[in-house]
């Protein structure tokens, strides 16, 4: 058994024993809630962070199969996991994380203004196939072409949405079976 398998086995045993004193029906329900709400979400996000998320979100039909526009990187602005200006959701910056020709997969009009004066949040692909939100002033784009597409639902691409066992994309992502 490898170190990784030993660690995973130990972790799962700890989780199982955490629910061991409950009656079997309650135990099963609590285990399911724990996995779906916490561990499944954690495992899915860990894999997507390591391998990239473009393929996953295409399979989930949360983003289009092809970029809706290709823009050019302009300014060094922060890249974020969610379309909100919050110090907790910063994952990098456009200078380091984005290619020169930026693939735009969606847009969103902000609920409140963006501090740099950007008109939209853009969902873009990074150099390593992850998707991030960036204020629109960081990228050149054709506004009319962009807004001809429907705004994205940010919840569908949010890392804090629960693990979804209603289809198998989350499980397939954890198992490394998605493109």
Exposure string over 48-69, b if 16+ CB within 10 A, otherwise e: beebbbbebbbbbebbeeebbb
pTM of full prediction above 0.75: yes
- The helix/strand/coil state of 58 is helix
- Token duo for residue 159: 């890392």
- Token duo for residue 146: 């962009």
Q: Given the structure tokens 């506004």, which residue do they identify?
A: 143
Stated length of the chain: 179
Q: Given the structure tokens 């949360």, which residue do they identify?
A: 62
What is the number of alpha carbons within 13 Å of residue 48 lying toward its C-beta? 28
Nearest alpha carbon to residue 74 among 91, 98, 90: 98
Helix (H) or strand (E) holding 101: strand 101-108
Ranges under pLDDT 50 in the chain:
none
Q: Which pLDDT belongs to residue 163?
A: 77
- Rounded Cα distance between 171 and 179, Å, is 13
Q: Which pLDDT belongs to residue 78?
A: 95
Q: Looking at the DSSP assignment, which residues form a beta bridge with residue 134?
A: 79, 122
Q: Helices 3-18 and 24-34: crossing angle, nearest 10°?
A: 130
* Tens-place pLDDT, residues 40-85: 788 888 888 888 889 889 988 899 999 999 999 999 999 999 999 9
Q: Which pLDDT belongs to residue 14?
A: 63
Domain locations along the chain: 3-51, 58-154
């Amino acid at each position: 058994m490898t170190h990784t398998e030993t660690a995973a086995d130990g972790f799962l045993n700890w989780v199982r024993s955490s629910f061991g004193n409950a009656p079997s029906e309650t135990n099963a329900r609590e285990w399911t809630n724990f996995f779906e709400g916490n561990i499944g979400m954690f495992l899915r996000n860990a894999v997507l962070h390591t391998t990239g998320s473009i393929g996953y979100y295409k399979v989930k039909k949360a983003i289009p199969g092809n970029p809706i526009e290709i823009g050019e990187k302009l300014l060094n602005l922060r890249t974020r996991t969610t379309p909100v200006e919050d110090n907790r959701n910063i994952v990098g910056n456009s200078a380091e994380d984005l290619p020169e020709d930026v693939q735009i997969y969606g847009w969103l009009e902000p609920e409140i203004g963006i501090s740099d004066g950007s008109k939209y949040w853009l969902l873009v692909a990074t150099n390593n196939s992850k998707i991030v939100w960036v204020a629109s002033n960081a990228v050149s784009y054709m506004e009319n072409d962009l807004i001809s597409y429907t705004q994205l639902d940010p919840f569908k691409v949010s890392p804090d949405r629960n693990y979804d066992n209603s289809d198998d994309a989350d499980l397939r992502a954890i198992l490394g079976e998605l493109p």
